[in-house]
Amino acid sequence: MILQRQDDPNFWQSVTGTLEQGELAVSTAMREVKEETGIDIQQAGYQLHDHQQINRYAIRDIWQYRYPPNTPYNTEHVFSVQIDGNDDIRLTEHLCYRWLDKTSAMSKVWSDTNRAAIAQHVPDFSD
């Protein structure tokens, strides 16, 4: 599933979020999935996979105001979870979502790091 941002409708992405002070990355991932989609990973019995991968990328100018001054890069921890396509999705921060096959998702997401994560960690169910 990919999500369309409200503040830039041409920007499609996975669930993303910010580490809160003292929060572990795995806790952030679970919290952000619940906040952005309404899915409680633990309650649903899903398995969150920590890929032990950290990406660094330049912060887009339009989002720079969200970061401390002189912060040019963001750090991204890569997680994945396979959910049931019949789950009730409740968007809070996005315009819409789409279920796409791996190739279509890779071509639709905006960021290179999202594309790479999909390529590396999303199974290809067309086989």
Smallest CA-to-CA distance from 95 within 54, 39, 36, 49 is with 36
Asked if the structure places residue 67 within a domain, the reply is no
For the record, the structure tokens of 83 come out as: 């959910």
- How many structural domains are present in the chain? 1
Per-residue pLDDT of 11-46, as tens digits, reads: 999 999 888 999 999 999 999 999 999 999 999 999
Asked if the structure places residue 43 within a domain, the reply is yes
Per-residue pLDDT of 62-117, as tens digits, reads: 888 888 888 888 899 999 999 998 999 999 999 999 999 999 999 999 999 999 99
Asked if the structure places residue 31 within a domain, the reply is yes
pLDDT score recorded for residue 44: 96
Kindly indicate the confidence band of residue 126, based on its pLDDT and cuts at 50, 70 and 90. low
Amino acid in position 99: W
Scanning the structure block, which residue is given the tokens 């750090």?
Answer: 75
Strands (E), 59-105: 73-81, 94-98
Asked if the structure places residue 59 within a domain, the reply is no
For the record, the structure tokens of 11 come out as: 């920007």
Asked if the structure places residue 73 within a domain, the reply is no
Asked if the structure places residue 100 within a domain, the reply is yes
Q: What is the CATH number of the domain that holds 115?
A: 3.90.79.10
Supply the range of the domain harboring residue 48: 2-52+79-121
pLDDT score recorded for residue 7: 87
Asked if the structure places residue 65 within a domain, the reply is no
pLDDT score recorded for residue 46: 97
pLDDT score recorded for residue 18: 87
pLDDT score recorded for residue 3: 97
Asked if the structure places residue 35 within a domain, the reply is yes
